[in-house]
Each structure stands twice: as C-alpha cells, then as structure tokens.
Amino acid sequence: MGSGDGAARGADGVHRTGGAQGAGTAGAGDAGAGHASARLLRLFEAHRLTPTQRRIAHCLVRKADEAPFLSSVEVAELAGVSQPSVTRFAVALGFDGYPALRRHLREVAPAAAAPDSAALNEYQQAVQAEIENLQHLATLLADTGPVARAGAVLAASRPLPVLGLRAAGAQARGFAYFAAKVHPDVRLLDEGGTMLADRLDAAVRAGASALLCFALPRHPRETVDTLAYAKEAGLTVVTVADSAFAPVAAHSDLLLPAAVGTGLAFDTACAPMLLGRVLLESMCDDLPDAQARLEEFDAHAAARGVFVD
C-alpha cells in the first residue's frame, strides 16, 4: 500500500480505513499475552501507587525480562530510590516483602526469550524486541475505548497543541505533520525554553481544550513541568509514553503506553510511532470533514505536481 509521503496511498501518506474498531485483535492474542512487560503492567496497574512506587514500577516494566532475578538493592539502584522503598512497594502490592514479590514475578512473568534467541546477533535481537513491543501494543489496543476517548478529545480541541521534546520530538513532528491535513489548527511544540509556556498560553487563549504529548526516555524535566503548566491552564492532557508509570503520568488525564526498545545504544520507538498513527485514525473518526480535507489536499497536490507517483 505504500506511496505518498512515507505512508500509505492517498493524501500525502494518509490512508483512510473503516476506523479503529477492532484494532489489535488480529494476531495479537497469545504473543502479546506472553510478553513479560504486559504481565507486569497488569499487576502494577491494579494498585494505587505513590510517585516513588511508580518510579519503581516504571523501572521494573522497562527491565521486565530481568525483573524476576533482581535483588531489592539492585532495583533500588536502578530506580534511584532507597532499598526500604522497594520493600514498601512490594507490601503495597499485597506481598509480605520483596522476596515474595520476586517469587511471584518468577511465576507469572518469566523471561520470554525466543527459543533461538542465542543465535541472533545484537541487531536481530533489537528487531525482535521491537516485535514484542508491537505485540504488547496490539494486546492493549484490543480495548479500543482509551484510544477512542483520546481521539474525540483531540478532535474537539481548536487549536490542538502537540508537545514533544528531545527524543520525543520526532514523534510529535510526525503526528503534527499528518494531523494538520485533517485538523484545522495544529500547533507543534517541539522546542523548549522560556517561549514554550508563551506558546501554550497562546493556544489556550485561542480556544485550545486539550494537549497531546509524546514523552519518551530519558524524560526531560521540562516536559513534566510543561504538562503541569498545561493542567493548571485547564487543558486535558493526553500522553503517549513508554510506560503507564512514566514520570509524566501524574500530569496526564489519559496516558496511552507504548514501550520503547532499549537493546541498542539509542532507544527505538516503533510502538510509540504506531500508536501515534492509531490516534490519528481515531481523531479522523471524530472529524466529520476529515475525508473532504484529504481529498482537497490530493487535488491540490496533483495540480501542483507535488509527488512523482
């Protein structure tokens, strides 16, 4: 189906389908359910955790394959917290202490390495990890409710500010680029500094009701501060982050997790990128003139000879 500007045929990379209904149901079942991080998420999300405990949970989700074998001291060092905090975290989950939690993790979230993983080189292992991240995302998308709610919130915001700093800048720019073809006023916020709050204020004055944020590790303090500022300004914050326990969670009204790959020198973000496209699809479903806008763009692009295919 590929053509246009980096995606599927039609309207500069935008391919309209029948909507997001049923997303993630095909081929996601057993593969996604067996992913260690998915099981950890289900365990942790069932409890109300303090900010420190959320940091520990976030660390364990990112180290899902190693988590069942880490000592409480190692977890504390990885999460940047005290060892007693790790113990209190285990108790908050309903266990007698960290050893009991670790035994539970070994039972319900064993490392799920492929049988032939030893034969894969480091590049292949990185690709395999991204495949597992996508399978996990497919499992989460079996419930289309959160994405549908997010799409409606984003479609209703005029203008729609889209935030992404540092590593998340590419995700924010990609979303804003395509969203501008169906939404009448998309404002990209991909540069930090003192003017960031000014631009957010301008969006609020113009009528913005929501903010979309892409937040990836390492999480800039400025992203967290900007989300707090957006909440104070009355915006509904929708966030795509690498984990439901990322530092931005406390300032997000609706957080949609999509794991990043950590096997290479720099993180890989295939799942967050795909989740951004899913959000675009959901937003299109709540913009009644989206298809007309795409057709208008196609006509203008053809008249100007923008594309060679």
Cα-Cα-Cα-Cα dihedral of 258, 281, 159, 226, to 10°? 0
The region of weakest confidence among 28-32, 81-85, 122-126, 256-260 is 28-32
CA distance 291 to 126: 37
Tell me what the mean pLDDT of segment 199-205 comes to: 97
Q: What is the pLDDT of residue 118?
A: 67
How sure is the predictor about 189, in pLDDT bands with cuts at 50, 70 and 90?
very high
Looking at the predicted structure, is the pLDDT value of residue 55 above 90?
Answer: no
Alpha helices in the chain (DSSP H): 29-33, 36-45, 51-62, 72-79, 83-92, 98-108, 122-140, 145-156, 169-179, 195-205, 221-232, 270-285, 290-304
Cβ atoms of 185 and 204 within 8 Å: the answer is no
**The predicted structure's pLDDT at residue 38:** 67
pLDDT digits (tens, 9 = 90+) for 233-247: 999 999 999 988 899
For residue 100, is pLDDT > 60? yes
236 torsion bin: left (phi>0), alpha (psi -120 to 50), beta (else): beta
Q: What end-to-end distance do the CA atoms of the chain give, in Å?
A: 13
Mean pLDDT of 284-293: 94
Between the ranges 85-89, 93-97, 277-281, where is the mean pLDDT highest? 277-281
Q: Which long-range contacts (CB under 8 A, 24 or more apart) does 87-90 make?
A: 88/53, 89/49, 89/52, 89/53, 89/56, 89/57
In three-state secondary structure terms, 90 is helix
- Which pLDDT belongs to residue 155? 98
